[in-house]
Structure 1
Amino acid sequence: MTSRDPIKATQLPAVAVVVTYRRPQLATQVVKGLIEREGFAPENIILVVNGEGGLADVALQERLDVVKLPDNLGPAGGFNAGIRRFVEGFDQEWVYLCEDDVGLFNLPTPRVQQVLDRLERTQLSSSEKWPAAVVAYGRDLNRRTGITTVHDPAGSSGFVPVDVAPWGASLVSRAVFESGATPDDDWFFGYEDFDFWLKVHEAGFPVLLDVEAARSATETAFGSGRDAAFQGVRPDDETEPWRAYYVARNFLELARRHGHIGWTAWHLAKSVRRWQLGSRQARKATVAGLKDGFLRRMGRNDAYVRTVGEISS
């Protein structure tokens, strides 16, 4: 993260949820940043341990509100568990959703209180519900093809609407969850974040991109910059061919829920291209994913799961 001076813990109107799986060092860095840079009190940080892992700093972990899941439920199940704990056990208005590797993406800190302060001065159209959801980096969705592209923050300021986003470091209001828009455990991994944000839109809430964060993270959140940020720290996407299974499978469900047959046609064309360019393992995963996608098989497939979370130094 882009770090400024540490700040003292304050009464932020937010609770942080950090979901982690097999990344104790990275998760520890994220939690320390939330405390030292953002001002979260440890008891207002929900750490969701997705079956295996936790923090490298055991003493720090004991100060947090820990949700230990019995098995790996993926980011979909992990964030859903953290959100349930937030809704049932806390009275703050906002939750800050963090993946355990978000510390690699050069986001400005502190930002939570600043984002909330700026939101108070933001005027939305009368057709939009308020409060909103704010993402750190977003994507625009082509409604004809279902293809998404990174939203370019150039020339913008403040907050701008986007269609979908990675989980990243996102602020979401309690009202969103109370409307029934929550992550779906059945997705496990892959497009589960897009499904959630599209449900947020369907519930009438805007999804806003924090332009300042997007500019800061431009070089590290996507593409080659993302791979460079991961270098020597965690596996990149190319070295995790198991991902191809969920990309192939889950987009078919995304098209059913939020799109149309045109999305499916474009997805099949892209899948053929991925198959042509992929490794032997990725090709196998793509074919298996398409098959299970058409059969509407969801959830975790134990043949395609992460084995290495982070690279030991």
Structure 2
Amino acid sequence: MKNSEFAAFVMTYERPETLLKTIRNLQEQTFPPAFIYIIDNSETKATRLAVEEMAGEDVGYYRVGYNSGPAGAARIGLKVLANRGYKWIYWGDDDDPPFEKWVFEEQFRVLENLEDVQKVGILGGKGGRLNRTTGRINTFSNHELEEQPILEVDSVPGGGSMLVNARVVREEILPDKKLFFGFEEFDFCLKVKKNGYRVLANAEIWLKENSKAGFNNKDFKWKASNFGKREVLWRDYYSTRNLLYIYFKNHFYKAFLFILVKSILKSFAGWRYGWNYGRKNFSLQWRGILHFLAGRFGR
């Protein structure tokens, strides 16, 4: 694999300084992408002006003109880079670059050693498997990661060093822009698998990232919980709405009902964190449910 066949896109929204650090991170990789395409959802000119200062043959810029969300930006980035003939595309966020400079080199080393690599649609540096009853995307313990260097997964999360096979994009398998924000990577991964491609996670990279973060216990398994945190509460609207849509669309009816009931219960459970949190949480959970039922998506 030559790096001339590898490109990256990075989506951004009103974080020019953070974006510039991420661009430098990608350029300093031991196997850097030949081209870095910035998809700017910003509403001001600050990001464009910052990127122009370092733009060159290896950095391009596209201003969407409105906030299309991660889902819309990823759709643009994948289509443009696939149409330009690149074979593999890095799906990047402005605030979550690869954790070490050798990550891409390691990912492509793995791809070169896989049989029938053209049937690999996505390779990530981490991932999860879907429980089709509870709708939960389960991750892996360090012990499980040590047992199998390459894992078959159902999802690669944002910030998971996701590489996308451009063949997938040329077959018009693309992120759903109406999701806007929240589980757009998961929905995309499910589409890729549904069309006969494999979605894989590199367990060796994942273990090294856990180790760097100090998570060395063999039983350690990452589990995020934001319930009760007001600063990220706004995300629950998108999570509820989009998961209901994804599970219903894919006929995962047990998972759909589980998430529906869970969201209703969460709408009441939030009151234990106080009046302000409870009121906001109740509103967001029910808005997510009702907007799914009404078919109202986007921002």
Unaligned runs of 5+ in 2: 216-220, 271-276
Tell me the CA shift for residue 97 of structure 1.
0.8
Report what 1:155 is aligned to.
146
Output the amino acid matched with 2:81. F
Contact 2:40-2:64 within 8 A present in 1 as well: yes
CA distance in 1, matches of 2:222, 2:230: 13
Matched, 1:81 2:76: yes
Aligned pairs (5 A) from 1:30-41: 30-40=22-32
**Residue 54 of structure 1 aligns to a residue in which SS?**
helix
CA distance in 1, matches of 2:112, 2:56: 34
Runs of 4+ in 1 over 4 A off after TM superposition: 55-58, 219-224
Aligned pairs (5 A) from 1:53-64: 54=47, 56=50, 58-61=52-55, 64=59
Contact 1:12-1:39 within 8 A present in 2 as well: no
Output the amino acid matched with 1:158. P
Tell me the CA shift for residue 37 of structure 1.
2.4
193 and 237 in structure 1: CA distance in 2 versus 1, 3 angstrom threshold:
farther
Contact 1:73-1:188 within 8 A present in 2 as well: yes
CA distance in 2, matches of 1:115, 1:148: 23
Unaligned runs of 5+ in 1: 1-9, 228-235, 301-313
Between the two proteins, what is the percent identity of the paired residues?
25
Report what 1:94 is aligned to.
88
CA distance in 2, matches of 1:238, 1:98: 26
CA distance in 1, matches of 2:4, 2:230: 38
**Residue 206 of structure 2 aligns to a residue in which SS?**
helix
CA distance in 2, matches of 1:176, 1:182: 8
244 and 131 in structure 1: CA distance in 2 versus 1, 3 angstrom threshold:
closer
150 and 240 in structure 1: CA distance in 2 versus 1, 3 angstrom threshold:
same
Report what 1:270 is aligned to.
262
| Superposed CA RMSD | 2.7
CA distance in 2, matches of 1:288, 1:203: 32
CA distance in 1, matches of 2:230, 2:151: 31
Number of residue equivalences: 275
Output the amino acid matched with 1:281. K
Report what 1:146 is aligned to.
135
214 and 238 in structure 1: CA distance in 2 versus 1, 3 angstrom threshold:
farther
Residue 172 of structure 1 is aligned with which of 164, 171, 180? 164
Tell me the CA shift for residue 170 of structure 1.
0.6
Tell me the CA shift for residue 151 of structure 1.
2.8
Aligned pairs (5 A) from 1:1-313: 11-40=3-32, 44-52=35-43, 54=47, 56=50, 58-61=52-55, 64-88=59-83, 90-103=84-97, 107-123=99-115, 130-152=119-141, 153-168=144-159, 169-218=161-210, 219=213, 223=223, 238-278=230-270, 279=277, 280-300=279-299
* Bigger helix share: 2
Contact 1:151-1:162 within 8 A present in 2 as well: no
Contact 1:108-1:216 within 8 A present in 2 as well: no
Cα deviations across residues 14-55 of structure 1 (Å, max 9, x unaligned)? 1011011122222211110000124436x6000100133627
Contact 1:136-1:170 within 8 A present in 2 as well: yes
**Residue 247 of structure 2 aligns to a residue in which SS?**
helix
Output the amino acid matched with 1:120. E
Contact 1:179-1:203 within 8 A present in 2 as well: no
114 and 184 in structure 1: CA distance in 2 versus 1, 3 angstrom threshold:
same
184 and 84 in structure 1: CA distance in 2 versus 1, 3 angstrom threshold:
same
157 and 238 in structure 1: CA distance in 2 versus 1, 3 angstrom threshold:
farther
CA distance in 2, matches of 1:260, 1:48: 33
